[in-house]
Amino acid sequence: MPEPIDKLSSRSREVFAKRKLPIQESELNDKIKELHGYGIPPEEILRNTVRFFAKRHNVEMKGLSDDPYTDTHRNIKDLRNGELSITRAKVVQLWEPTCDKVLQSGLVGDETSTTKFMIAKSATVRALVEGVSYEFRNVVVRPWMGQMSIYVNRGSEVSRVQEDIKVKISARQVADRIKSVPRDVNREASK
């Protein structure tokens, strides 16, 4: 096994050993290899593996003393690559999926910024509705066009919130929207 996978396996075993969870090493290594094959960052592999086996053994995640899972709420502008996070955002725009493994993608925003979101078909989440605000829990944060994006997988939860989240739209997005306005509309407005 490559060195990074060995280290992840060892770190995972330590978490399980402290809780006396009977995890088969071959199962653990298979799960880590599977996630590594998808190109998932090492810290996320560790979190996902711990979460997967804790769920299988009905162990509350917050009960793991050295749990690598971060139950941290972040604004969109404060998201960090590779972490699991919780954020609240409004769906600003929906896009057509660009691959058969994607259920839905689009743009979400909060009062600090906007970014891309993507929901994997393997996720147990319903399709989102444009203009509605949601809380995204246990989402993976990944880089996208110089900022972080939100990736919803089967370990994630998305729930509708009553709050109408105000969205900050970047100057770049405003410029892109202006470019997309038909020229006839611009001429009519200038008369």
Q: Is residue 147 part of a domain?
A: yes
Q: Contact at 8 Å (CB) between 144 and 85?
A: no
Q: Cα(122)–Cα(98) distance, rounded to whole angstroms?
A: 16
Same domain, 114 and 25: no
Entry field: residues in the chain = 191
Mean pLDDT of the chain: 78
Q: How does pLDDT run across 28-74, given as a tens digit for each residue?
A: 889 888 888 777 777 778 777 887 888 888 876 654 534 444 455 78
pLDDT category of residue 184 using cuts at 50, 70 and 90: very low
pLDDT value at position 88?
92
Question: Rounded distance, CA 138 to CA 143, Å?
Answer: 16
Residue 177 has pLDDT above 50, yes or no: no
pLDDT at 72: 58
Whether residue 182 has pLDDT greater than 70: no
Of 63, 84, 103, the one marking the end of a domain is: 63
The band of 188, judged by pLDDT with boundaries at 50, 70 and 90, is very low
Domain that holds residue 42: 3-63
Rounded Cα distance, 69 and 17, in Å? 17
- Give residue 70's Cα distance to chain centre: 13
pLDDT-derived band at 172 (thresholds 50, 70, 90) equals low
pTM as predicted: 0.58
Model confidence over 82-116: pLDDT tens digits? 777 889 999 999 998 888 999 999 999 999 989 99
Domain assignment present for residue 187? The answer is: no
In a domain, 71, yes or no: no
Query: With the C-alpha atoms ordered 59, 62, 67, 70, is the resulting torsion angle positive or negative?
Result: positive
At 104 the pLDDT is 95
Encoding tokens for residue 60? Answer: 């509350």
Residue 173, pLDDT score: 57
Q: Is the pLDDT of residue 3 over 70?
A: no
Q: What mean pLDDT do residues 154-180 have?
A: 73
How far apart, in whole angstroms, are the C-alpha atoms of residue 59 and residue 139? 20
User: Are both 102 and 173 inside the same structural domain?
Assistant: yes
86 with 176, same domain: the answer is yes
Residues 118, 174 within the same domain? yes
Residue 16: predicted pLDDT:
78
